Amino acid sequence: MRSAEYRPGRKLIGRFEHDSELLKSVTDFVKEKGIKAGVFSILGAVKGAIIAYYDQTKHEYREVQLDGPREIVSCTGNISLKNGTQFAHAHIVLADEHGNVKAGHLIRAKVFAAELHLQELLGPELVRKHDELTGLSLWEL
């Protein structure tokens, strides 16, 4: 395990605007607040979303489009730096009207209503770099 040590910074909560894009809103928010590293969780509901599954052989994301309203059962993510700017990485679990869930790497989602809880982390720069082995942008630790 490669690791780094951080200390807690600000704890922020926020309410997303109706019809906003979930991930872009998080990214805009952390840029506005000058947060370069952090962890977050989101609860609420979306009008639709695109999630993805990473094909570990082909090294590419396969997208799944989810149309229609769904509950955000869980959404956790982190903030770090990629290509010199803040990057939000999030995974999401979404439930339909029957309680059936779909989950994966969050590409984008249109907000119905949602709440953010974000913990800023203070310490060394947390930077993502391309990893040859996995094909992913991983933390350079």
d(CA 83, CA 10): 24
Binding mask 54-93 for Zn ion (x = CB under 5 A): ----------------------------------------
Stretch that binds Zn ion, among 15-23, 31-39, 43-51, 100-108 (CB under 5 A): 100-108
Q: Which residue, judged by CB position, is nearest to Zn ion in the bound state? A: 105
Stretch that binds Zn ion, among 7-15, 24-32, 37-45, 104-112 (CB under 5 A): 104-112
d(CA 4, CA 65): 35
Stretch that binds Zn ion, among 17-25, 36-44, 97-105, 118-126 (CB under 5 A): 97-105
- For 42, the token pair is 């989101």
Q: C-beta of 123: minimal distance to Zn ion in Å?
A: 22
Give the residues across from 5 on adjacent strands.
none
Among 16, 37, 51, 105, binds Zn ion (CB under 5 A): 105
Beta-carbon-side half-sphere exposure of residue 102 (alpha carbons within 13 Å): 19
d(CA 124, CA 72): 32
- For 122, the token pair is 């203070």
Closer Cβ to Zn ion, 12 or 52, answer by number? 52
CB-count exposure of residue 12 (10 Å: 0-12, 13-18, 19+): middle
Q: C-beta of 105: minimal distance to Zn ion in Å?
A: 4
Binding residues for Zn ion (CB under 5 A): 105
